[in-house]
Structure 1
Amino acid sequence: MRKGEQITGAAREELAREMKQQYEAGRSIRAIAEAYGRSYGFVHRVLTETEVSLRGRGGERPRRHRGTAAHAGR
């Protein structure tokens, strides 16, 4: 499979199955995209087509601290 090559039919179904399996095993969309030489959008679209339940965004979320300007009036 060459980068940017259109994938259709049985080849796309097989690729979608592999990507779904990897995603469900915990691999990120970005990691899958890099491994296959595809874009994030392509992998996201393929996973959506397989009706996989997509995880929320990862990483630590910023916290608001008590005593900041946003809470000064409370």
Structure 2
Amino acid sequence: MSTATTAAPSPDPSSTGLGLRRIPKGRRLKGEKSIRFATDVIKAYETKSIRRICEETGRSYGAIHRLLTNGGVTMRPRGYQHKASASPADAS
């Protein structure tokens, strides 16, 4: 009795596994690919920093920042944002 196994499709080497594609250095995106990449970057910025997006996509900080600002994204303030701590009055 023969068992047929199907291999899972191999992962796209240009994909980071998180929905962001790594774009080869010097490559320009045009048309639909550019729009799709910008949309993915804007969505990723909801949970990731610009620097993290740069690492995953291979694009520069300036390129990612420009995509976000041109996309109308409100930028978060710089630096680590501490969570608001409870005041001593709340502790009682």
Give me the TM-score of the superposition, normalised by structure 2.
Answer: 0.59
Aligned to 1:67: none
Paired AA for residue 48 in structure 1: T
CA distance in 2, matches of 1:4, 1:51: 25
CA distance in 2, matches of 1:55, 1:4: 28
Alpha-carbon deviations, 1:49-72, whole Å to 9, x = none?
A: 110111010137xxxxxxxxxxxx
Paired AA for residue 53 in structure 1: T
Pick from 51, 55, 67 the counterpart of residue 76 of structure 2: 55
Q: State, as a whole percentage, how many aligned pairs show the same letter.
A: 41
CA distance in 2, matches of 1:56, 1:4: 30
Q: Following TM superposition, by how much is the alpha carbon of 1:9 offset from its aligned partner in structure 2, in angstroms?
A: 1.3
- Equivalent pairs, count: 59
Give me the TM-score of the superposition, normalised by structure 1.
Answer: 0.72
Q: Following TM superposition, by how much is the alpha carbon of 1:3 offset from its aligned partner in structure 2, in angstroms?
A: 1.5
Paired AA for residue 27 in structure 1: K
Structure 1: 5+ residue runs without aligned partners?
A: 61-74
Paired AA for residue 21 in structure 1: K
Q: What is the root-mean-square deviation of aligned Cα atoms in Å?
A: 1.3
CA distance in 1, matches of 2:76, 2:64: 14
CA contact (8 A) 1:19 1:32 kept: yes
Structure 2: 5+ residue runs without aligned partners?
A: 1-22, 82-92
Secondary structure of 2:45's partner?
A: helix
CA distance in 1, matches of 2:59, 2:73: 18
